[in-house]
Amino acid sequence: MTRNVPLYSSLQNVSVKVSYIHGLSVHNETRELLAGVLEGSRAHLARAITLIETKHPGKHQQAQWLLTSLLSHRNKLKKSNKLRDTFRIGFSGSPGAGKSTLIETLGKSLTGLDHRVAVLAVDPSSSRTGGSILGDKTRMPKLSSDPNAFIRPSPSGGTLGGVTRNTQEAILLCEGAGYDVIIVETVGVGQSETVVADMVDMFVLLVPPAAGDELQGLKKGIVELADLVLVTKADGDLLPAARRIQTEYSSALRLVRRALNYPWKPRVLRVSSFTNEGVNEAWETMTEYKETLLEKDLFNEKRMLQQKTWLWYHIQWQLMERFHSDPVVNDHLKDQEESVMAGRLTPGTAADNLIKFFIKQ
C-alpha cells in the first residue's frame, strides 16, 4: 500500500499571510509548488528541486521563499512535537563500488518496512563540457517505479565534494514531502568527496573487494569520516577477497583517531546486493548508530553544526560567482593571469590585485 503521508501535514497549516518577503512578489506557481510538496507529490517535489537548482536570479528568489516557508512550517511542527523523525545517510565510494545497486536493494527493503525513501544521486559533470550522465534512474529501475520512493539525479556541476551545491536544500524539500530516509549518493572519485559528511547524519563508505591496500582509503581522507564501511559484492568468487578487505579496513579504522568520548565506533561489514546477505544487518547498524547519537544528545547538535558549515559553503560559492561576474575584475583578469604565467607577478600578488579591484579599493 502506498504511504503518502507528508512530513509537515497539509498546506492549510502553513501560515504565510503576506505575498511579499523583503519586497519579493511570490508567484502563484511557487505557492502551488509548496502545497504540492507538503502533500507528498513526487511531481511537485521534482519541480521544486529544479527551481532551487536554477541560477536565474528571479527564480532563485522564488526558491528561497519556498525553502524559508518550508523551514517556518517545520519549526512550528517541531515546537508542537509533531515533526516526524528523518534519517539522512550519505553513500560514497569509488566508481564501480556498487553504490546504485546497493541503494536500490536497501531502498526496496526499506519501502517494504513502511519507510518512504528519497535518493539524491549526484552525477559527475564533465570538466570540459559541463554535461553529466544522469543515469541513476536507469540503474535503479525497481526503486524508481516504487510509489514510496523518489530518485533525483542531479549534476554536480564540478562542485567539490561530489555533491551539487543545492543537495542540502533538496534534502529539506524531500523531508517536507514526507520522505523519512534520505540517501545521498555521491560521485566518489577523490579526496574532495568528504563534503557530503557535512550534510548527512551518517556517512557510509562503500568499498569493492578489489580495493587493495587499506592505506589507499586513508590517503583519500574518506575512511576517517566513515561511520560505517560496507564491503560490497561479497558473494561468489569475490567472497574471499571481500573477507580480506573487511579485515584490512577494520585494522585501518583502529588507527583513525576519533573525537574523545565519541560514543560510536565505526564498523566494517560485508554486503551482497545479489544475495541480499548483510543488507538487513547494515540497516540495523545504521539505526543503532542513530539511536546511539540520539541517546547522547548528539544527533540534533550535529545537524545544527552542519547548518553553520553550509552557511559558509554558500558564502564561498556566492562570493566566487560574484567575483567571476564582476566587470572590473574581468577587465583586469587576463592581464593578471598573463603576468603570473610570465613570472612578473606571484600568484599571491595577482590575487591581491584582483581582490582590490573586486572590492573597489
Residue 59 to residues 29, 45, 132, 153, Cα–Cα distance (Å): 11, 16, 23, 20
| Residue found under cell 570538466 | 127
Neighbours of 111 (CB within 10 A): 20
Question: Closest by alpha carbon to 230, among 267, 183, 192, 274?
Answer: 267
> 3.40.50.80, 3.40.50.300, 3.30.160.110, 2.40.50.140: which CATH number matches 87-296?
3.40.50.300
Phi and psi dihedrals of 149, rounded to 5? -130, 155
Phi and psi dihedrals of 201, rounded to 5? -80, -35
Query: What is the enclosing helix (H) or strand (E) of 146?
Result: none
CA 164 to CA 7: how far, in whole Å? Answer: 24
What pLDDT score does 220 carry? 52
167-176 and 42-53 helices cross at what angle (nearest 10)?
160
Contact 328, 358 (CB under 8 A): yes
Question: Closest by alpha carbon to 308, among 162, 168, 177?
Answer: 168
143 Cβ contact list (under 8 Å, min separation 6): 103, 104, 107, 108, 111, 117, 119, 149, 151
pTM: 0.84
pLDDT digit of tens for each residue in the chain (361 aa)?
444 445 444 444 444 443 444 555 778 899 999 999 999 999 999 999 999 988 787 888 899 999 999 999 888 888 888 888 999 999 988 888 889 999 999 999 999 999 999 999 876 543 333 433 445 556 789 999 999 999 998 765 555 444 567 888 999 999 999 999 999 988 665 544 667 888 999 999 998 987 555 445 454 567 778 899 999 999 999 999 999 999 988 888 887 766 657 889 999 999 999 999 999 999 999 999 999 999 999 999 999 999 999 899 889 888 998 999 999 999 999 999 999 999 999 999 999 999 999 998 5
Q: Give CATH for domain 11-79.
A: 1.20.5.170
CA 284 to CA 274: how far, in whole Å? Answer: 19
In the chain, where does the domain assigned CATH 3.40.50.300 lie? Answer: 87-296
Instruction: Say yes or no: domain 304-358 is CATH 1.10.287.130.
Output: yes
In the chain, where does the domain assigned CATH 1.20.5.170 lie? Answer: 11-79
* DSSP states of 27-44: PHHHHHHHHHHHTT-HHH
In the chain, where does the domain assigned CATH 1.10.287.130 lie? Answer: 304-358
Kindly report the CA angle at 184 between 303 and 223, in degrees rounded to 5? 80
Contact 38, 11 (CB under 8 A): yes
Polymer length in residues for the chain: 361
Neighbours of 327 (CB within 10 A): 7
